[in-house]
Amino acid sequence: MAAPIGFFASTKCGISSLHPSHTTLSRLKDCQRNIQAHLLKVGLNAGVIGVADVTYEGELISKRVGLFTVESDFSVCPYHRDFLGINWRQKALCQYPIHEGKAKPYRNFTKAMSRRMLADFGVLVPIGSGGICRKCNGEYLKAYTSCTEKKVT
């Protein structure tokens, strides 16, 4: 197996406190827990192309660490499988990189938004993250619309 996903998460690999009997690494492509309920819980419509663009657990885990394509030989430890997968929890405040102050999110980050934050600001905001407040969402939409209009003309 190749590098464990913990390398990309910048946290140590280990055993999950939720499943202490699970002690072995799994390949990402073999992580197949049902994630539909989790996607709905974090505000991403499961199965809707373009919103989460996630079809299985291994793909969800890889996107949460900024790998937007799943490498078939990447592995995941029990700790990262639990806490980047279906047991991952959102943050309660706006996650937009240039947000100032404290504001509650109004919508969650999709795959496209997460990729844009990484490309534009060098900040990984995992898909399904606590989200973006109304003010920052307006800024994001203005920036995104102006970029796509420039490409068309």
**Average pLDDT of 125-145?**
85
Look at residue 1 and tell me if it is in a domain.
no
- How many domains in the chain? 2
Q: Are the C-beta atoms of residues 27 and 1 closer than 8 Å to each other?
A: yes
Look at residue 34 and tell me if it is in a domain.
yes
**pLDDT tens, position by position, 83-103:** 888 888 878 888 898 898 888
**Average pLDDT of 18-28?**
88
Confidence check: pLDDT of 51 > 80: no
In whole angstroms, what is the distance from residue 139 CA to residue 88 CA?
27
Q: Are the C-beta atoms of residues 61 and 28 closer than 8 Å to each other?
A: yes
Q: Are residues 75 and 95 in the same domain?
A: no
> What's the full length of the chain, in residues?
153
